[in-house]
Amino acid sequence: MAMTIHVDVVSAEESIYSGLAEFVVLPGEAGELGILPGHMPLMTRIKAGTVRLKLPNQDAEELFFVAGGMLEVQPNRVTVLADTAIRGKDLDEAKALDAKKRAEEAMASRSSEMDYVRAQAELAEAIAQLSAIQKLRRRSH
């Protein structure tokens, strides 16, 4: 039997996942992070992207979309505290495409510097959601 680590993925609204995983891969602020059981303690910010969990006794990975937040790693527990977290199967491509279009339009209008920065963040989040949807599609084919 493979070694496992307890993983909690939570958003401000709800707990999205709580259970065992063989490993966790997620978008750290400085790049992709891979966490295995026994990993040294770590706390870092995460950016918008896909969290992948390899669950025991399953071939396919479980995918989640997160829109920023914090990661805490202890030797036997990983906690992902996401600003927003959505199960991969619950992602809405039409909604993400619409958000991307609105962000691009807001960036093009450049009404103020603050609006531009907010639009950039919204665009990055929409692109990360679309990337998660594409990963989910590739996995299911």
- Closest of 48, 44, 51, 55 to residue 21, by C-alpha: 55
- Residue 89 has what pLDDT? 78
Burial (CB < 10 A; 0-12, 13-18, 19+), residue 114, is exposed
**What was the pLDDT predicted at 72?**
96
Question: What pLDDT is stored for residue 131 in this prediction?
Answer: 77
Q: What is the pLDDT of residue 140?
A: 60
Regions of the chain short of the pLDDT cut 70? 1, 110-114, 136-137, 139-141
**Domains, the chain:** 5-88 (2.60.15.10), 91-140 (1.20.5)
